[in-house]
Copies of this chain bind each other. A is one copy, B any other.
Amino acid sequence: MVKKSLKKSHATRRREEALSRDRIIEAAIAILDSSGEDGLTFRTLSERLATGPGAIYWHIANKSELLTAACDAIVARTMNAPLVGATPEATIRALALGMFDAIDAHPWVGSALTRAPGQLPMVRILEAIAQQVRALGVPDQEQWATVGALLNYILGVGGQNAANGQLARTRGVDRSDFLEAVSTAWSQLDPDQYPFTRSVAGQLRAHDDRMDFLAGIDLILRGIRGLRTDRIDLV
Contacts and interface: CB of A to CB of B under 8 A. Distances in A.
Interface of A: 87, 89-90, 111, 114-118, 123, 126-127, 130-131, 134, 142-149, 151-160, 162-164, 166-167, 182, 185-186, 189, 193-197, 200, 203, 207, 212, 215-216, 218-227, 232, 234-235
20 contacts: A114-B114, A116-B163, A117-B163, A117-B164, A118-B186, A123-B194, A126-B196, A143-B196, A145-B215, A145-B219, A148-B212, A148-B215, A152-B153, A152-B160, A153-B153, A155-B159, A156-B159, A219-B223, A222-B223, A223-B226
Nearest to A233: B222
Contacts of A203: 144
Contacts of A167: 117
Contacts of A232: 218
Contacts of A164: 117
Contact of A220 (B111, B149, B160, B212): B149
B148 A152 contact: no
Given A131-B196, A186-B123, A223-B223, A216 B115 contact: no
Nearest to A165: B117
Nearest to A114: B159
Given A116-B163, A144-B203, A148-B212, 4 more contacts: A142-B215, A145-B216, A149-B220, A225-B226
Contact of A182 (B118, B158, B197, B221): B118
Contacts of A111: 114
A91 to B, nearest CB: 11
A161 B189 CA distance: 30
A41 B221 CA distance: 43
A121 to B, nearest CB: 12
A157 to B, nearest CB: 5
A28 to B, nearest CB: 18
B163 A156 contact: no
